Amino acid sequence: MHVLQALGEMLIFPGALYGLIISMLLAWLDRKLVAVMQGRVGPPIYQPLADTIKLFAKEDLDTEGVNPTLAGLLPVVALACTMTAALLVPVGNHAVISFQGDLVIALFLLSLPTLALFMAGWIVPSVYNVVGGNRTLLQYFAYEVPLLLGLAAPAAFSQSWRITDLMARQAGYRWFVLGMPLGFLVSSMGLIGKLERVPLDAPHAKAEVGAGPLTEYSGRKLAFWRLTSWLQTVVGINLMIAVYLGGADRMWRYWGLGTYLLKMLAYLGGLALVQVLYARYRVDQVSRISWRVLVPLGLLQLLVTVWLGA
């Protein structure tokens, strides 16, 4: 029974199947919110699913000069890492796997797809891919640090690196975002950079580098990359909710999951709002903002937290 239950959680809920479904739903909601804010109508709800099906049906080109095994392996590895990270991050109140240090492991697993993306660009002998891949790597260095720093403050406060512990500490609406707002902002910006969303989407700025590291990809490989990106968004949001927004509070009995969904929608709304309000940062401005603003603020938050907690 134990094994069946574990398999069910890993493959169905809140694992792979649920992950894929919810990532497509959130991808749609993201596009819909942005569209409405821009005065447009936006896509129908089945659009991400339709896009994925279409991509699977398209010809998967073997670009000349590219190692086909590597090109095929990288998106699979990226998706697998993200799905594994999804198992560590709580959905609602419950994480499939939870252990001391799982916050660090989750972040590590989430950083591998970004490196894979860089490599995917690097192995293609096309200017747009290489330049896009380089930018991804640059942004990777610039934004993993604020993300980790921002998440370190609650961990220091709770004296634990276990995500479910962090959630438990926030019981009773003592959400960490209220006490450590700076850390929340810093890690949110880190997340935006990691997800390569506007204003930090320089690596795939259409006007400059085409589709960035994924320019020459099509078909099944591109579908996997898209799914990875959508799933990363979901996992990132879940992580932020668990660490900063209190996870699934028991507002009323049995309504924990309800508030959790509300928080997910609210955070996604915030991401969409930021996307709509700003122009893209140029790639050197991206680095500057990160190292000169976000990292110092993150350190400040960490120091303040440690000092106040001591």
Contacts with another protein by CB under 8 A lie at 37-40, 127, 131, 198-199, 201-202, 205-208, 210, 276-285
Nearer to another protein, 3 or 279 (CB): 279
Nearer to another protein, 80 or 276 (CB): 276
Nearer to another protein, 66 or 198 (CB): 198
Q: Please report how close the Cβ of residue 39 comes to another protein at its closest, in angstroms.
A: 6
Is the separation of the CB atoms in 78 and 224 below 8 Å? yes
91 three-state secondary structure = strand
Nearer to another protein, 100 or 285 (CB): 285
Q: Please report how close the Cβ of residue 63 comes to another protein at its closest, in angstroms.
A: 17
Q: Please report how close the Cβ of residue 45 comes to another protein at its closest, in angstroms.
A: 21
74 three-state secondary structure = helix
Instruction: Give me the sign of the Cα torsion angle 118, 15, 271, 220.
Output: positive
Distance (Å, whole) CA 249 – CA 259: 7
Q: Please report how close the Cβ of residue 275 comes to another protein at its closest, in angstroms.
A: 8
Distance (Å, whole) CA 171 – CA 120: 42
Q: Omega of the bond prior to 14 within 30 degrees of 0, cis?
A: yes
* Tokens, residue 265: 């929608």
Q: Please report how close the Cβ of residue 209 comes to another protein at its closest, in angstroms.
A: 9
Q: What is the CA radius of gyration of the chain?
A: 19
Nearer to another protein, 190 or 203 (CB): 203
